A and B are shown apart, each in its own frame.
Chain A
Amino acid sequence: MEDYNFAYLDEQTKRMIRRALMKAVAIPGYQVPFASREMPMPYGWGTGGVQVTAACLTPEDQLKVIDQGADDTTNAVSIRKFFQRTAGVAVTEATAEATVIQTRHRIPETPLTEGQILVYQVPIPEPLRFLEPREVETRRMHALEDYGLMHVKLYEDIAKHGEIATSYAYPVKVEGRYVMDPSPIPKFDNPKLGGNAALQLFGAGREQRIYALPPYTQVVSLDFEDHPFVASKADHPCALCGATDSYLDEVIVDDEGGRMFVCSDTDYCTGRQQAWTEDAA
């Protein structure tokens, strides 16, 4: 336990990340550059989220880690173990009990509350990156609030597919100012970004950026008057718990085209199944 400093990072690094977090909270949606450190896991495994979590974590926290909504996948299990070993914090799988939740690409179904922090792992923080590869240019576009290119991209979606075909990492505008990449969450989760009671922090390790949404921040998914934003999901109930309001994963069950749709949020699904069995008993 004492082989590591609390929460792995050294204090100098934590102060640098903490200063970036304070500015990120003060400028919602703006990507604050930070000196990302090499972590004992590969890029793409959530090194940005891990650094943000390490800088925020206190000894009294209850940590929950999810990967695409699931508590029991490799990425979630290894990050949870990492903080158990280096910070000695309590861990939980229950969304309501957690004080810090690190997430890869989902927002939990259970509504978050004040005092909770949701930490996102972000691969590409720059929403304009695939439209304009030059950092100097995208930085200037943010400075000038020049987001026309993003609307052209969404318009081209409509021209090609008849609708906005972007289904994840759907761009949003924060407080009427910065266009932000909400990380590759399904667009089903976009409505939960705005007006959320929890503090939302985003960390991109390889790209060295931190950004944030303070609680109750106004977040609007970009759209057009005649093609409004739709938070879509698979049109099925969950095969395990019967939920019709949760985001679903499609699972292939045999080699004859058989498939089932189940909740991607394992805690939400398990909770509903338990309530169901208790009612039956």
Chain B
Amino acid sequence: MDLQALQGGFADPAREAAVAFRACLEAMARPGTIHRVAGVQPPAPLSVAAGVALLVLGDQTTPLYLAPSHDLPVIRDWITFHIGAPLVGRAQAAFALGTWADLLPLDDYPAGTAEYPDRSATLIVESPDLAPSGAVLRGPGIREAASLSLPALDEFRRNAALYPLGCDFLFTAGDRLAGLPRTTQVS
């Protein structure tokens, strides 16, 4: 483990994590909105926003799956030191991290059960860019319609069809993030 793994966490964890969580919560509650976050400097290729999401939501109790794009020693070390999440396979994951292509297929992740639909994975999708254009989103959290640059349509349609089961998504690009819960209808 080199020194890089020990650096880049929140300087003032309680306050910075509180501000960052509000951005994550707003992103998930208002699909299509894009939020800026700050406070951590994770090692490349992990983006600032993905690092923030992991630090705010992850800990020793949240099994994490690293897709091949992010399954690198430097990221493993950083996550082990700052978060302590057990690194697991897709079927056990509470969170998954990677690029869209490397995270597929979605069927591999827990989608929850009829009694406990909350026991499903949240996928943190590292994206090249986020823009309020492209796919049209409708559903809870959206007044009429919103737009967000999504990496695909069919996968999200199929995921929404599982409702109330299904995965939830956080898209991260640089220091910006957006959310897509299972309730959102994409077209």
Q: Which residues of A contact B (CB under 8 A)?
A: 5-7, 11-12, 14-16, 18-28, 30, 32-33, 55-60, 114, 139-140, 142-144, 175, 177-178, 197, 199, 212-218
Contacts and interface: CB of A to CB of B under 8 A. Distances in A.
Contacts of A214: 29-30, 140-141, 181, 183
Contacts of B61: 16
The 5 A-B residue pairs with the shortest CB-CB distance, nearest first, are: A6-B14, A26-B181, A214-B141, A143-B114, A23-B118
Contacts of A33: 116, 118
Nearest to B95: A19
Given A28-B183, A217-B140, A57 B18 contact: yes
A143 B114 CA distance: 5
B164 A18 contact: no
Given A12-B59, A20-B118, 14 more contacts: A15-B58, A18-B24, A21-B25, A22-B25, A27-B117, A28-B183, A30-B118, A57-B18, A59-B15, A143-B115, A178-B164, A214-B140, A215-B143, A216-B142
B141 A217 contact: yes
Interface string B51-76: 00000111101100000000000000
B115 A25 contact: no
Contact of B118 (A18, A27, A216, A217): A27
Contacts of B18: 6-7, 14, 56-59
B13 A11 contact: yes
B57 A19 contact: yes
A20 B117 CA distance: 12
B95 to A, nearest CB: 9
Contacts of B181: 25-27, 214
B90 interface: no
B94 to A, nearest CB: 8
Interface residues of B, number: 39
A55 B21 contact: yes
Contacts of A216: 140-143
B17 interface: yes
A222 B22 CA distance: 32
Interface of B: 13-15, 17-19, 21-22, 24-26, 28-30, 56-59, 61-62, 94, 113-118, 120, 122, 140-143, 163-164, 168, 181-183
Contact of B62 (A19, A20, A215): A19
Contacts of A16: 61
Which of A24, A25, A33, A143 counts the most chain B CB atoms within 10 A?
A: A25
B25 A25 contact: yes
Contacts of A56: 18, 21-22, 25
Contact of B28 (A15, A22, A55, A217): A22
Nearest to A214: B141
A178 B24 CA distance: 24
Contact of B29 (A58, A143, A199, A218): A199
B115 A26 contact: no
A18 B141 contact: no
Contacts of A32: 118
A22 B28 CA distance: 7
A139 B114 CA distance: 9
A140 B183 contact: no
A15 B24 CA distance: 12
Contacts of A199: 25-26, 29-30
Q: Which of A21, A22, A213, A217 has the most chain B CB atoms closer than 10 A to its own CB?
A: A22
A22 B140 contact: no
B182 A18 contact: no
Contacts of B62: 19
